[in-house]
Amino acid sequence: MRIRGVELAVGIFMLVGALSLAVLAINVSGLGLSKQEGSYKVYALFENVGGLTARSKVSMSGVTIGQVSAIRIDPERLMAVVEIEMNGDVDYLTVDSSASILTAGLLGEKYIGITTGADDEVLTEGGYIEDTQSSLVLEELIGKFLFNKASE
């Protein structure tokens, strides 16, 4: 009878450990079970998103203020349209704000960095960030460098 109690305790301990790992993995990956309350969507047009994915973070001055909710192509402009879900408390971004696709570290993940402008009018639901800087693609830079060296 004592051995059965030990086996039951070990089983419960293993179950709690597996559940804890699952919760930790969900929190670290940025996945959430509920939608962000009080959020609003803005859009930005980029020539090249270069590895940016949905659920990438959007930050300003190193503080996360939103996340990328979708990326699609605009068939008229032939540019990537990035849908950004901003936190509801970030109600001070002006219409002349700029967005850049940046890299965290040398080979790190891509994210969007926002720099505010000086206009009095603020971005609202469905607004567009007009001033954007696309991602730097390492392969394109190497190709340009090699092409310039070959032409010399």
The CA-based angle 58-63-66, given to 5 degrees, is: 30
Q: Which of 44, 48, 53 shows the shortest CA–CA distance to 123?
A: 44
Sole residue written with tokens 């936190």: 87
> Can you give the pLDDT at residue 18?
94
Q: If residue 57 lies in a helix (H) or strand (E), which one and from where to where?
A: strand 57-60
What pLDDT digit, counting tens, does each position of 117-127 carry?
A: 888 888 888 88
Checking if the pLDDT of 141 tops 90, the result is no
Q: Which of 26, 110, 130 shows the shortest CA–CA distance to 68?
A: 110
> Can you give the pLDDT at residue 21?
92
List 115's β-bridge partners, or say none.
98
> Can you give the pLDDT at residue 96?
87
Query: What is the C-alpha separation between 82 and 72, in angstroms, rounded?
Result: 7
CB 136 within 8 Å of CB 107: no
What pLDDT digit, counting tens, does each position of 16-41 carry?
A: 999 999 988 887 766 655 555 678 89
What pLDDT digit, counting tens, does each position of 54-66 carry?
A: 888 999 988 889 9
**What are the DSSP calls for 66-134, one per residue?**
EEEEEEEEETTTTEEEEEEEE-TT----BTT-EEEEEESSSS--EEEEEE--S-SSBP-TT-EE-EEEP
Confidence of residue 1 (pLDDT cuts 50, 70, 90): low
